[in-house]
Amino acid sequence: MNKKIILSGIQPSGELCIGNYLGALKQWNILQDKYESIFLVVDMHALTVDQVPSDLRQRCLSFVAQYIACGIDPDKSIIAMQSHVHEHVELMWVLNSLCYLGELNRMTQFKDKSKDKKNVNVGLFTYPVLMASDILLYQADLVPVGADQKQHLELSRDLAIRFNYKYSDTFKIPEPFIPESGARIMSLQDPLKKMSKSDSNLNNIIALLDSNAIIKKKINRAVTDSGSEIKYSEDKPGLSNLIDIYTSLTNEKIEDVEQKYIGKMYSVLKKDLIEIIIDFLGPIKEEYTKIISDKAYLAEVLSDGSEKASFKARRTLSKVYRKVGFVKK
Ligand code: ATP
Ligand code: LTN
């Protein structure tokens, strides 16, 4: 029987952070053993925010190296650069013609990212249609993402259903795969907003490549409340976020962690968490340093990945072109 397909992607903006790991990469790593897997660096999505071209180019390669250092295995999974497979934008155009302005107007990520901007580019607005095309092109069954992507995924499903209804069955209807723990890691300085890799205040995030000294400084400075009891609760968002990071990295239960720290001060929990993060990121950073220096290896992974991805993408796109009534080449 054919294996089910998973697909996901991260946009190369900012620095990959522990939120991206716990919400996405950790599940990719586990799921790649069971599913046929495609993991993209969605560089075209990254153009929707300002980029310095030479930085973007380096960051794209750095993200591929970080995917591999986090355990994504190019022998098991396809790792590809979105811009290397031109079918993504071609399918997007077809989906654009099925998507309503009202649907895009409701997207909370668009509202957040366009807030306070003088000029909002059209790419930021149609971003979710490109994401739908990433997913539908590969006939993905499951999309492992953090909780913030749920709304985008619902749009992908709606567009697939609409296309299938209008032209006959073509796309699989993808399901989100959102982890129970670590789906929404919050900012260290403002625990009411999510940790985001392109946050301009780097004290809000733990980057996967942060040095040990920086990790220590950021966790020590992380905002907590003025109480003293180590308890996971809505009115202690800062502390609860630290417990979330703790349990997601150690796979311990929240109750067990609360039990372990009865009568102990916040500073004890912070000290242990620093150690947990340092121990966890150490091997990833070491692996990353080896991979990033081997440019020939990275080029080979990407050329292999884009060849395999293009093959699958072509199949879906030619079906779509036929169904919408385009003349065969
Ligand atoms: P940016 O700040 O550049 O918009 P981001 O950190 O929000 O980036 P994305 O590229 O939008 O990251 O998301 C990559 C993946 O990481 C997605 O699956 C997303 O759901 C997940 N993710 C992002 N932030 C978090 C978070 N704070 N907690 C858990 N998962 C997250
Ligand atoms: N919009 C996603 C990134 C993304 C994605 C995808 C995720 C682009 N294409 C396809 C899953 C599947 C985000 O995390 N901001």
pLDDT, residue 179, reads 92
CA of 13 to the centre of ligand 2 (A): 12
**Residue range 81-108, pLDDT digits in tens:** 999 999 999 999 999 999 999 999 999 9
DSSP state of 120: -
CATH, range 5-182+295-324: 3.40.50.620
**CB of 61 closer than 8 Å to CB of 12:** no
Nearest to 216 by CA among 267, 250, 289, 286: 267
Listing DSSP states for 211-254 in one string gives -HHHHHHHHHH----S-------TT-HHHHHHHHHHHHHH---H
pLDDT, residue 102, reads 97
**Residue range 97-152, pLDDT digits in tens:** 999 999 999 999 999 999 988 889 999 999 999 999 999 999 999 999 999 999 99
With a cut of 50, list the residues of the chain below it in pLDDT: none
Which residue's structure tokens are 């799921």? 31
**CB of 16 closer than 8 Å to CB of 208:** yes
pLDDT, residue 137, reads 98
Q: Which two tokens stand for residue 320?
A: 């779509």
194 is a catalytic site residue: yes
What is the Cα–Cα distance from 6 to 286, expressed in whole angstroms? 28
131 Cβ inside 6 Å of ligand 1:
no
Amino acid at position 132, single letter = A
**CB of 187 closer than 8 Å to CB of 198:** no
Which residue's structure tokens are 């990254």? 46
Domain boundaries, the chain: 5-182+295-324, 202-289
pTM, 2 dp: 0.96
pLDDT, residue 118, reads 86
What is the Cα–Cα distance from 149 to 146, expressed in whole angstroms? 6
pLDDT, residue 29, reads 97
CA atoms within 13 A on the CB side of 317: 19
183 Cβ inside 6 Å of ligand 1:
yes
What is the Cα–Cα distance from 38 to 140, expressed in whole angstroms? 9
pLDDT, residue 226, reads 83
Q: Which two tokens stand for residue 77?
A: 């999974």
Are both 5-182+295-324 and 202-289 of the same fold?
A: no
CA of 226 to the centre of ligand 1 (A): 29
**CB of 176 closer than 8 Å to CB of 149:** yes
Pocket of ligand 2 (CB under 6 A): 7-11, 42, 45, 131, 134-135, 143, 145, 149, 152
pLDDT, residue 117, reads 87
**CB of 42 closer than 8 Å to CB of 9:** yes
- Given the candidates 3.40.50.300, 1.10.240.10, 3.40.640.10, 3.40.250.10, the CATH classification of the domain at 202-289 is 1.10.240.10
pLDDT, residue 225, reads 84
pLDDT, residue 116, reads 85
Please identify which of the residues 26, 172, 194, 270 carries the catalytic annotation: 194
DSSP lists the bridge partners of residue 298 as none
Amino acid at position 141, single letter = D
113 is a catalytic site residue: yes
Amino acid at position 291, single letter = I
Ligand 1 atom showing the smallest separation from residue 186 Cα: 27
Angle (nearest 5°) at CA 164 between 158 and 170: 115
Q: Which two tokens stand for residue 197?
A: 């890799």
What is the Cα–Cα distance from 145 to 167, expressed in whole angstroms? 29
pLDDT, residue 146, reads 93
231 is a catalytic site residue: no
